[in-house]
Structures are given as structure tokens and as C-alpha cells.
Structure 1
């Protein structure tokens, strides 16, 4: 039997799927979503949705959410401060300017066909849906101060709905490490180096 390799310094373990939607035919982002489900973190378990939407480009108008929604407010702050310090794609969009909005989350999985997470906060309901998993593979990266591991599942389609209105926009394929701007990320672990 092979002895296990033991490494310490775990900063978070769970899931972190994302959706980036673009204005059709362009590289202009109209929706950016990062959904964190922490099974373990120094600030406890929970969920935190970080979202930015362009009111005009997404077609969501005055319902276009920008900010953090969480069932554990400490987790939202922890994720923002520890994992987005070098991520220019999400920084500078105003996501962190207000306190996390208290929210409840429901998750439904249909295997490779779909994965849906619904966030309900006061009068706002945000539905995230990933469809048609294209592939499934392990990704290991070394970011500033962290080693990360995840099981990545790029998807062929994704939607973001706010109060039953579907945001306009399209995913890009191929894009980045995941091969799609809509990807599920399971068993994601960030370890401090």
C-alpha cells in the first residue's frame, strides 16, 4: 500500500462553479458569477454568491444584481479577501462595496444534463444553471500564495435568471483553463503555499 501524501494549510474546500456571459459576438462581459460552496473553511461552512451584471447589456435593467449574497456573511468576506486579490476579471466591478446580502440557497443536480443553484434574498431570486457537461478533468494551478485543485466540468450552455428574467449573453468556448466560460468546479481545494 502506498503511503498518503499529507499537506496542511487548507484555506477552503468545496465547490466554485462560475458563469461568464458575453455580449453576443463580442468580448464585453455582461454577467459574471462566482458561486462558492464551502464544505470547510476557517470561517465555517456555507455559500457565497459573488455576482456582477451589466443592467443594459444583460437586459436585466433595475433588477441587475451586483454584490455578494451569502448564508454565512463571514464566508463571503473571506472568499473576497483571500481568493480575489489577484483576479482582475472580477476586481473593480463594485461587488465588494456593500455588506453581503443574507440569502438562502437550493441546489439541484441532474448529472451531466444540468446543475442548478437558486439564491433567494428578500425580493430577489437568482437562478444559476449549467447544462450539457462537455468533459470532466482535474485542474491543478499555482496562484499567488496558493496551490489549487479542482475537478472541472466545462459546460456547453448556461443561464442566469433574476426574478424569472433570463440575462442576455453567451458563453465563450474555448476559454481559459476550463475550456468554457461556464464551468462547474467540484472538490475545489485551495492550499496556502
Structure 2
């Protein structure tokens, strides 16, 4: 049986969501959730989230919620800060928030994550999964200063709808979807299962 060479540094799940103000190009919220089943920093959960306010450059909420501080810091600094639209938001300077995570899911259709901290209660829902496909993304830029590269293997499930609720208030944004390709829908919310990061 052939194997893939390299050091495995992360296994788990990594759904992502980007919400836009209806009928505009304005990004109002972005979230990267991580459920880690294996890493060199232990297991656990982390949510990296930014929700915009009506004041430019002043987020209503920006945080890194986690139940494993070492893991949460590593995920945000090594990976998330390099993701599209997450770049340039100062994640290495954001303090971590201790949180508890509760999941509800049927991976064929939806995934819901509730996050509880001392001051906040967040609910993120990925819904109406449209398809599933295995991807290999080679040579992603990673590391605190972009000094390393990793290959990623993951099962992506685009979701037609998604929502974020912050302390009982729903974020006024929606998932953008392009359903023009019958073979592969493109959505700004997706579930990501069986995700493995390999250091080359």
C-alpha cells in the first residue's frame, strides 16, 4: 500500500464560513472552526471569528475561542492568518478566550457548533450541504511569518446556507453561492471533514 511522505501535524475538521451583507459585496463575518483529533499540541477545539460592526475597521467581535490554549494559538498563528480574507487582521496579537464547545451534526446535511465563554455565547450553523469532494491542496503558505509550506487533504462539503448568532443576535449576512456548475457548487460556507495537514 503506497503512503504519502511527510510529517502529519493536524487531523480533524475545519469548516469555514463567510457571510455577506445581502445583495452587496460587503463581507460582514468570517469564521474558521477547528476540531482537532490529532496534533503535536494536543486535541481540542478552536474558533477564529471576526464579525464587522457598522463602524469601518472596528469589529463588533474578533476573537479566538478555544479549550486548548496551546492548540488555539498554534492554529490561528500558523494557519488561519494566511487564509484569504483572514489576512491582515492581527490574529497573532489577539488574546485567547477560554471556551466550551458543543456540537450537533449530520454530516450529510448540516453541522452546528455552540461556543460558550464567560462573556459570550456563539452559535454557528452550516446547513443544506450540496455535495462532497476530496481535495488535495499542495504547498500552502503557513507559519507565523509564512516561512513554511504544508500539503492539505480534506473532504469539502459546500453549504447553501449558514448563520452566526452572537449572544442571541443573528448576524445580518448570508452565504454567497454559485450553482452554475452542476458538478460542483461553490459556496462561501463549507464543511471540511477528514482534514489532514502534512509537513513536507
- Give the TM-score, by structure 2 length: 0.85
CA distance in 2 between counterparts of 1:130 and 1:72 reads 23
State the 1:121 CA deviation. 0.4
Alpha carbon RMSD of aligned pairs, Å?
Answer: 2.1
Runs of 4+ in 1 over 3 A off after TM superposition: none
CA distance in 2, matches of 1:158, 1:78: 26
Partner residue of 2:5 out of 4, 7, 10: 7
Aligned-partner Cα distance in 1 for 2:129–2:45: 23
**Is 1:192 paired with 2:183?**
no
TM-score if structure 1 supplies the norm length? 0.88
How many equivalent pairs are there?
186
Cα displacement (A) at 1:96: 3.6
The 1:6–1:95 alpha-carbon spacing in structure 2 relative to 1, beyond 3 Å, is closer
Structure 1 gaps of 5+ residues are: none
Alpha-carbon separation, structure 1, partners of 2:105 and 2:196: 21
Q: Which runs of 5+ in 2 are unaligned?
A: 142-148
Q: Does 1:81 align with 2:85?
A: no
Match of 1:180 in 2: 187
Decide whether aligned partners of structure 1 residues 178 and 37 sit closer, same or farther in structure 2, where only a CA change above 3 A counts.
Answer: farther
Which structure shows the higher strand fraction?
Answer: 2
Q: Does 1:156 align with 2:163?
A: no
Correspondence list, 1:109-128, <5 A? 109-128=105-124
Task: Provide the residue aligned with 1:41 in structure 2.
Answer: 39
Which deviates further from its counterpart, 68-77 or 138-147? 138-147
Evaluate the alpha carbon distance shift between residue 94 and residue 53 of structure 1 in structure 2; reply closer, same or farther with a 3 A threshold. farther
Q: Which residue of 1 aligns with 2:24?
A: 26
Distance of 2:166 and 2:81 partners within structure 1: 27
Question: 2:135 matched to 1:131?
Answer: no
1:65 is aligned, of 61, 68, 92, to: 61
Q: Give the distance between the partners of 1:94 and 1:8, measured in 2 at CA.
A: 30
Q: Describe the shift of the 1:140–1:178 C-alpha distance in structure 2 as closer, same or farther (beyond 3 A).
A: farther
